[in-house]
Amino acid sequence: MAAVVGVLALQGSYNEHMAALRRIGAKGVEVRKAEQLLGIDSLIIPGGESTTMAKLANFHNLFPALREFVGTGKPVWGTCAGLIFLADKAVGQKTGGQELVGGLDCTVHRNFFGSQLQSFETELSVPMLAEKEGGSNTCRGVFIRAPAILEVGQDVEVLADCPVPAGRPSITITSGEGLEDQVYSKDRVIVAVRQGNILATAFHPELTSDSRWHRLFLDMDKESQAKALAALSLSASSNDADVGSKNKAPDLPIFE
């Protein structure tokens, strides 16, 4: 049965994700309510404006259900604002911050590359994507008031990074926990990662005609379904073993 990909449709580029899924023959459904998460195999959280999206998600009481969905191990992909949603920690937020879904062991900076005016496109080196989905070793990265990932945990695989644009004002990372501020001083910054069932990109593949990121995500879906099936047949065979042992004649006489 074809996997059903949910696309969180509160705000932002969900139509573009739906169109990208249609182009590769995948079934996408728009998700606006918690109960709709029960009927999908994987979820895309699109780009947009993460504060607005968080307000809408709060209004619809979606955060607990989204966290639960991430915890099921089903694939989840956040693009841009969606990446911010999935990060365990976000810096560069408006005062008071915003609620996050979390699950992705990283620190994200919300507007790392600057304001809307500093939006840009660039070629990104993506050897892992090319290895898995074929095609060129690079992809077009569309960065719109984009976030970037400053730090990742050890279980996070970095799929792409990019040079920090020259002349970009230095970023001070305030922990907010009484620890010292740090200045981001590296010359490259992470823009695509995978951690188990979670995929995250700081840029917008849904705005290009390169469908390899969507294909990669569908492949994660297939992997997770295969795992679920294997787990099911394993538990069925261990049940069989149990039944077998129950049916086996006891070696000792049983006195009643």
Specify the stretch interacting with ligand GLN by CB under 6 A; choose among 80-88, 99-107, 212-220, 238-246: 80-88
If the CB atoms of residues 51 and 225 are measured against ligand GLN, the closer one turns out to be: 51
80 is catalytic: yes
Measured CA to CA, the distance from residue 190 to residue 168 in angstroms comes to 16
CB of 213 to ligand GLN, least distance (A): 15
Measured CA to CA, the distance from residue 31 to residue 175 in angstroms comes to 34
Task: Write the interaction track for ligand GLN spanning residues 174-193; mark x where CB under 6 A is met and - where it is not.
Answer: --------------------
CB of 147 to ligand GLN, least distance (A): 5
204 is catalytic: yes
Residue 52 backbone dihedrals phi, psi, to 5 degrees:
-65, -45
Strand 4-8 vs strand 27-31: parallel, antiparallel, or unpaired? parallel
Among 28, 47, 75, 78, binds ligand GLN (CB under 6 A): 47
Report if residue 98 touches ligand GLN, rule: CB under 6 A: no
173 has binding-site annotation: no
CB of 87 to ligand GLN, least distance (A): 11
Is the Cβ–Cβ distance between 62 and 34 less than 8 Å?
yes
48 has binding-site annotation: yes
Question: Which residues have a catalytic role annotated?
Answer: 80, 204, 206
The binding site consists of 48-50, 110, 144-145
